[in-house]
Chain A
Amino acid sequence: MVDEPGLGCKVGEKWRKKRGSLIMALHEIQSVKGYVDWKDATDLAQTMGIPLARIYEVLTFYNFFKLVAPGKAVISVCTGTACYLKGNDKVLEKFKSELKIKEGESTSDGLFHLQCVRCVGCCGLAPVCVVNGKTYGRMTPEQVPAILDEWREVFKEA
């Protein structure tokens, strides 16, 4: 169990003396708890001596960083050139309508998080989606409900 209140301070202490290491610190927080919240950011600001406004400039500049807890199953829809041209925009729309959320959002039950990524490095399988590290190639909108059911099962068992 991660001691959440102390994470920003702990990470900040580690990176404090290295110039230009804000992104590394933010990466570390996100890798531990999955997102960077206000408490982490303010603790980091305090320990690293970086204005909070600058930290949020960085956090909101990069799509990568999450400010709230994502769903348990993170669905990454590739909207890189190949996947997009092969019709992943329609797959994305299907995910949105099935889950009733927009990209960058999580479902209210905390199960799914939907995000777009720019190329996952296997364009030969385009269009591609990745859920928690598992890759789904040659996607069609019709496959979407089955994938969602598959992950509902996974977290039901857990």
Chain B
Amino acid sequence: MVKLKIDNIDVEVEDGTSILDAARQAQINIPTLCKHPDVDPSAGCGLCIVKVGGRIMRACSTPAAEGMEVVTSDAELKEIRKTVLQLILSNHPNDCLNCSRSGQCELQEITAEMGIDRNDIIKLVSQEPKDDTTKAIVFDPAKCIVCGRCVNICQNVQNVWALSYLRRGFVTKITGANNTKVGNSPCIRCGQCAAHCPTGAITDYDNTSKVAALLSDKENITVVQIAPAVRVALGEEFGFDFGTNLTGKIYAALRRLGFTKVFDTNFGADLTIIEEASEFVKRFTTNDNLPMFTSCCPAWVDYLEKNYADNIPNLSSCKSPHQMVGAVVKTYWAEKAGVDPSKVKVVSVMPCTAKKWEIERDETMSSSGYKDVDEVITTRELAKMIKAAGINFKQLKEEEADNPLGEYSGAATIFGVTGGVMTAALRTAYFYITGEELGTLNFKEIEGLSAVKVAEVDIKGTKVRIAVVNGVGNVAPVMDAINKAKAEGSELPYHFIEVMACPGGCIAGGGQPRVMGATFDKPWGINNDIRKLRSKGLNTEDIEAKNRLSHKNESIKQLYNEFLGEAGGEKSHHLLHTKYCKRKLYK
């Protein structure tokens, strides 16, 4: 521990704490645009300057030291900060009124807080066009302040290396290697760059107008589904506490938006578990292509196809839950409801930007004979649609989902949390192997936000070794261990591995609401405290659920009895499974 004085307030912090964080502990907020709780300091923006013994230093990258006397704000510091901010603003268009980040922009809020009411510096704004080649995330160089957060996340946290700096100094630009368009780069569309961008430079590839067009065509039978993680995050856009589960209100809002049928991706999660647990049990008992990786995260699938193509046989062939729902809606449900599947339009509300790409990743995404899922919007985009429709979300009465694709178990809802898919799959795999139910339905070792979580599960004497990778940036050591064991012919370190590209899982996906408010008690953007609160929202729903097992979902049983036949059977294989191919890092 070190003791120091910040603005004459005594503070005691752990060794290695930055002045920026130490000040926050003393309830002093130092402005910053580049530092974020998820990344190491880059000392890029220059706003967090403080005086240490009279010398001007950057608070983000200077560790607190014993006996330090720090001044965080005086006339000179304020003046310098203002100039720094004015220089940043001189390269930024004054587009706030028609920017999708308006009202939710860190740059806008800091500018207001610092009282910038005029700017005499000549404007020099990038004229480079937007890059929307990923069809998931849009990059606008004009609005980029080159704070470097996105590069830091993409390279150092996600280990994707799609984004990088090009050139230096005034002409620095953030883009793919050698100015490659991001859609042709190793980008996996996880959207973590968008989730961490402080301005409107990285935003959703907006599909709200396409969804509005689907809704306004009265010939269409519009079907909507929401992912597990959406229900515990959307509320943040409407003043609810972090992690509040608002499933019933969201169903109600979706009906008001005009959707004919409101289903739930959680139904698809249960369906995924039936297929995936069956697949695992089969592969495990016949020692076929082990270890098996989960495949519900499209960003992870893309990452493996690009970086570890030799491990493609290890991926589960199961589609992700919302794709399964799409395929089932346009076949089983359309037939049951007696409607023309060509008129059925499926919209998925996802916490994820990669899902926008997933719906067209190959022909198996059109297994019903039509595009299984027509459009994907993120949680953020749904919030926008609800606001634009003038729906008083906060006061909505809770409603139920439509059946039969609305029923779900507790196992399904935890898909949105790191470790959740593994937990759900083990519950059902245990039943499939032993014919009995597990005593305790949770596996403590794979809960929480550690990078790689491992456990050994005893299934009546058979040891199953599992790993849960929290964030694709943590997958390399696991892959190395597996491929080393394979090469040496030694025993595999794991049999079953869950990977989620976004740290924390889908609850902190790239399409989730941006946390608002630049003050210290409500930090900007996602962080681990918020990840825990959102996770708790889903875990609580699981614990309180009447049924916590996918294989006990009655609607799922009915689906197999009436339509699919058996798990992994011919029909399932056609509608619910996919295939993979090696993809180039650069196109």
**For the complex, would chain A's binding face be called helix, strand, loop or mixed by DSSP majority?**
helix
- Roughly how many angstroms separate A113 CA and B161 CA in the complex, as a whole number? 32
Most chain B CB inside 10 Å of its own CB: which residue of A38, A41, A53, A59 = A53
- Roughly how many angstroms separate A51 CA and B166 CA in the complex, as a whole number? 14
For B543-572 the 0/1 string (1 means CB < 8 A from A) is 000000000000000000000000000000
For A40-74 the 0/1 string (1 means CB < 8 A from B) is 01100000000111111101110000010000000
- Name the interface residues of A70-101: CB closer than 8 Å to any CB of B: none
CB of B585 within 8 A of CB of A52, answer yes
CB of B167 within 8 A of CB of A60, answer yes
Nearest CB in chain B to that of A46: its residue? B585
CB of A53 within 8 A of CB of B155, answer yes
A44 to chain B, nearest CB (A): 12
A40 to chain B, nearest CB (A): 12
CB of B168 within 8 A of CB of A60, answer yes
**For the complex, would chain B's binding face be called helix, strand, loop or mixed by DSSP majority?**
loop
CB-CB under 8 A for A53 and B161, given A41-B178, A42-B586, A67-B178:
yes
Residues from chain A with a CB closer than 8 A to the CB of B165 are 57, 60-61
CB of B161 within 8 A of CB of A38, answer no
For B157-181 the 0/1 string (1 means CB < 8 A from A) is 0000111111110000000111000
For B289-331 the 0/1 string (1 means CB < 8 A from A) is 0000000000000000000000000000000000000000000
Residues from chain B with a CB closer than 8 A to the CB of A67 are 178
Residues from chain A with a CB closer than 8 A to the CB of B185 are 53
CB-CB under 8 A for A53 and B164, given A42-B586, A67-B178:
yes
A29 to chain B, nearest CB (A): 15
CB-CB under 8 A for A61 and B161, given A53-B155, A53-B176:
no
- Roughly how many angstroms separate A55 CA and B176 CA in the complex, as a whole number? 11
**Number of residues from A at the complex interface, CB < 8 A:** 14
- Roughly how many angstroms separate A70 CA and B166 CA in the complex, as a whole number? 20
A53 to chain B, nearest CB (A): 4
CB of A51 within 8 A of CB of B155, answer yes
- Roughly how many angstroms separate A127 CA and B224 CA in the complex, as a whole number? 71
CB of A60 within 8 A of CB of B166, answer yes
- Roughly how many angstroms separate A107 CA and B495 CA in the complex, as a whole number? 60
CB of A56 within 8 A of CB of B164, answer yes
- Roughly how many angstroms separate A42 CA and B178 CA in the complex, as a whole number? 11
- Name the interface residues of B174-213: CB closer than 8 Å to any CB of A: 176-178, 185-186
- Roughly how many angstroms separate A60 CA and B161 CA in the complex, as a whole number? 16
B150 to chain A, nearest CB (A): 12
**Number of residues from B at the complex interface, CB < 8 A:** 16
- Roughly how many angstroms separate A60 CA and B176 CA in the complex, as a whole number? 12
Residues from chain A with a CB closer than 8 A to the CB of B161 are 51-54
Q: Within the complex, which residue of A38, A53, A54 is in contact with B162, where a contact is CB–CB below 8 Å?
A: A53
Nearest CB in chain A to that of B176: its residue? A53
CB of A54 within 8 A of CB of B178, answer no
- Name the interface residues of B516-562: CB closer than 8 Å to any CB of A: none
- Roughly how many angstroms separate A55 CA and B178 CA in the complex, as a whole number? 9
Residues from chain A with a CB closer than 8 A to the CB of B162 are 53
CB-CB under 8 A for A54 and B586, given A38-B178, A67-B178:
no
CB of B177 within 8 A of CB of A56, answer yes
- Roughly how many angstroms separate A60 CA and B197 CA in the complex, as a whole number? 23
- Roughly how many angstroms separate A53 CA and B155 CA in the complex, as a whole number? 9
A151 to chain B, nearest CB (A): 29
- Roughly how many angstroms separate A152 CA and B166 CA in the complex, as a whole number? 34
B234 to chain A, nearest CB (A): 34
CB-CB under 8 A for A54 and B167, given A38-B178, A42-B586, A67-B178:
no
Residues from chain A with a CB closer than 8 A to the CB of B155 are 51, 53-54
Q: Within the complex, which residue of A52, A57, A60, A61 is in contact with B586, where a contact is CB–CB below 8 Å?
A: A52
A38 to chain B, nearest CB (A): 7
Residues from chain B with a CB closer than 8 A to the CB of A51 are 155, 161, 177, 186
CB of A52 within 8 A of CB of B168, answer no
- Roughly how many angstroms separate A105 CA and B185 CA in the complex, as a whole number? 26
CB of A53 within 8 A of CB of B167, answer no
Q: Within the complex, which residue of A38, A41, A55, A61 is in contact with B167, where a contact is CB–CB below 8 Å?
A: A61
- Roughly how many angstroms separate A99 CA and B215 CA in the complex, as a whole number? 60
- Roughly how many angstroms separate A67 CA and B186 CA in the complex, as a whole number? 21
CB of B177 within 8 A of CB of A52, answer yes
Residues from chain B with a CB closer than 8 A to the CB of A60 are 165-168, 178
Residues from chain A with a CB closer than 8 A to the CB of B186 are 51, 53
Residues from chain B with a CB closer than 8 A to the CB of A41 are 177-178
CB of A53 within 8 A of CB of B177, answer yes
- Roughly how many angstroms separate A150 CA and B185 CA in the complex, as a whole number? 45
Most chain A CB inside 10 Å of its own CB: which residue of B162, B167, B178, B586 = B178
Residues from chain A with a CB closer than 8 A to the CB of B178 are 38, 41, 52, 56, 59-60, 67
Residues from chain A with a CB closer than 8 A to the CB of B585 are 52
- Roughly how many angstroms separate A142 CA and B95 CA in the complex, as a whole number? 48
Residues from chain B with a CB closer than 8 A to the CB of A55 are 177
- Roughly how many angstroms separate A55 CA and B166 CA in the complex, as a whole number? 10
Q: Within the complex, which residue of A38, A42, A57 is in contact with B164, where a contact is CB–CB below 8 Å?
A: A57
Residues from chain A with a CB closer than 8 A to the CB of B177 are 41, 51-53, 55-56
Residues from chain B with a CB closer than 8 A to the CB of A42 are 586
A115 to chain B, nearest CB (A): 15
Residues from chain B with a CB closer than 8 A to the CB of A38 are 178
B380 to chain A, nearest CB (A): 27
- Roughly how many angstroms separate A42 CA and B167 CA in the complex, as a whole number? 18
Nearest CB in chain A to that of B586: its residue? A52
A127 to chain B, nearest CB (A): 24
- Roughly how many angstroms separate A54 CA and B165 CA in the complex, as a whole number? 8
- Roughly how many angstroms separate A59 CA and B502 CA in the complex, as a whole number? 30
Nearest CB in chain A to that of B171: its residue? A60
Residues from chain B with a CB closer than 8 A to the CB of A52 are 161, 177-178, 585-586
B residues neighboring A (CB under 8 Å):
155, 161-168, 176-178, 185-186, 585-586
For the complex of A and B, list the 3 residue pairs with the smallest distance between their C-beta atoms, beginning with the closest: A53-B164, A51-B161, A56-B177
Q: Using A51-B161, A56-B166 as known contacts, list a sample of 15 further A-B pairs with CB atoms less than 8 Å apart, ordered by residue number in A.
A: A41-B177, A51-B177, A51-B186, A52-B161, A52-B177, A53-B163, A54-B161, A56-B177, A56-B178, A57-B164, A57-B165, A60-B165, A60-B166, A60-B168, A61-B167
> What are 8 of the A-B contact pairs (CB < 8 Å)?
A51-B161, A52-B585, A53-B177, A54-B155, A56-B166, A56-B177, A57-B165, A60-B165
